């Protein structure tokens, strides 16, 4: 195959931030988040998502996908490539083609985004992190989107298990982590004390100062904290 574009930007006109369900899509940065955690998604599946989000509720025809995602000088099995891109997109979203919540298939015609979409919110990546000098200071946990709680890992092992479960859309695995107290459900706005900041991983260790998990320590992303 020759000439396929590698840019992560949206092929459509809308280049802002969109939210639906527990997902946030930063079309400028080419990033997909689920409940605040970045989800790996390849170029073509992301560009297909961008096209669907630009025209929610409308059918994007297979011909439109072909014209936008594959330049005229590209030699590729288009039908197979598009089917694969949509399959990878659905896997990232935990969507089922038989009972879709987000991406609906219209046989031999194309696809349509059927989720409830919000535009215009600032991207997670643009929210200011707590500075490195914040060790020992108080902060508040900030939930993502319209959620009333933040889901935080108790340590590196739990964070790795969570990432693995989310990548596989394994809701049972996540439920088991919560049941075993490896993942903590903490209300939005809960005060915490910053114990350590890890700039390399964009996360920090905090102690929870209020509520059910009072006194416990957890790992949180810097963008989950508000000063």
Q: What share of residues in the chain are helix, strand, coil (percent, to 5)?
A: 30, 30, 40
Each residue's pLDDT tens digit, 200-216: 557 888 999 988 899 99
pLDDT score of 2 more than 50: no
Query: What pLDDT sits at residue 207?
Result: 92
| Type and span of the H or E element at 113 | strand 110-113
Q: Which of 9-13, 179-183, 195-199, 214-218 has the lowest mean pLDDT?
A: 9-13
Which residues is 217 bridged to in the sheet? Answer: 207
Query: What pLDDT sits at residue 227?
Result: 64
Pick the more confident residue, 15 or 209.
209
CA 204 to chain centre: 20
The residues, ordered by sequence, that sit 6+ positions from 45 with a Cβ below 8 Å of its Cβ are 85, 86, 88, 89, 92
Residue with tokens 């996540």: 174
Q: How many residues does the chain have?
A: 227
- Mean pLDDT, to the nearest integer, of 2-30? 63
The set of long-range contacts for 206-213, using a CB threshold of 8 Å and a minimum separation of 24, is 206/139, 208/184, 209/138, 211/186, 211/187, 213/184, 213/186
> For the chain, what is the mean pLDDT?
80
Domain ranges of the chain: 17-119, 127-226
Q: Strand 59-61 vs strand 203-208: parallel, antiparallel, or unpaired?
A: unpaired
Q: Which two tokens stand for residue 204?
A: 């920090």
Each residue's pLDDT tens digit, 98-110: 899 999 999 989 9
Note the CATH architecture for domain 127-226: Roll (2.30)
Query: What pLDDT sits at residue 106?
Result: 94
Query: What pLDDT sits at residue 75?
Result: 61
- Mean pLDDT, to the nearest integer, of 103-118? 91
Query: What pLDDT sits at residue 74?
Result: 58
- pLDDT bin (cut points 50, 70, 90) of residue 10 is very low
Write out the DSSP string of 124-141: GGGSPPPPGGGTT-EEEE
pLDDT score of 127 more than 50: no
- pLDDT bin (cut points 50, 70, 90) of residue 52 is very high
Query: What pLDDT sits at residue 11?
Result: 41
- pLDDT bin (cut points 50, 70, 90) of residue 133 is low
Tell me, yes or no, if the two domains 17-119 and 127-226 fold the same way. Answer: no
Nearest of 121, 148, 138 to residue 204 by alpha carbon: 138
Cβ atoms within 10 Å of 103's Cβ, excluding its own: 20
Assigned CATH class of 17-119: mainly alpha
Each residue's pLDDT tens digit, 135-192: 888 888 888 766 788 888 898 888 888 888 887 888 888 889 899 999 899 998 899 9
* Alpha helix stretches (DSSP H) within 55-122: 62-69, 78-93
- pLDDT bin (cut points 50, 70, 90) of residue 198 is confident
Q: Which two tokens stand for residue 109?
A: 């015609």
Q: Which two tokens stand for residue 178?
A: 């919560």
For 122-133, b/e burial (b = at least 16 CB within 10 A) is ebbbeeebbeee
């Amino acid at each position: 195959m020759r000439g396929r574009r590698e840019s992560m930007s949206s092929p459509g006109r809308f280049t802002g931030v969109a939210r639906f369900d527990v997902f946030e899509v930063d079309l400028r940065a080419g990033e997909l988040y689920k409940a605040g955690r970045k989800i790996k998604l390849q170029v073509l599946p992301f560009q297909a998502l961008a096209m669907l989000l630009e025209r929610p509720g409308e059918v994007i025809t297979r011909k439109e996908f072909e014209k936008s995602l594959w330049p005229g000088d590209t030699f590729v099995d288009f039908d197979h490539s598009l089917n694969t891109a949509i399959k990878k997109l659905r896997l990232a979203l935990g969507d089922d083609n038989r009972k879709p919540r987000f991406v609906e298939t219209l046989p031999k015609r194309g696809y349509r985004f059927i989720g409830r979409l919000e535009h215009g919110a600032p991207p997670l990546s643009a929210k200011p992190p707590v500075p490195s000098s914040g060790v020992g200071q108080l902060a508040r946990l900030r939930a993502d989107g319209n959620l009333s709680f933040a889901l935080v890992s108790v340590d590196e092992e739990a964070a790795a298990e969570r990432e693995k479960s989310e990548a596989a859309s394994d809701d049972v695995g996540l439920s088991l982590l919560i049941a075993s107290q490896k993942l903590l459900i903490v209300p939005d706005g809960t005060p915490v004390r910053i114990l350590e900041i890890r700039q390399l991983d964009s996360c920090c260790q905090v102690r929870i100062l209020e509520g059910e998990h009072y006194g416990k320590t957890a790992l949180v992303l810097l963008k989950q904290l508000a000063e």
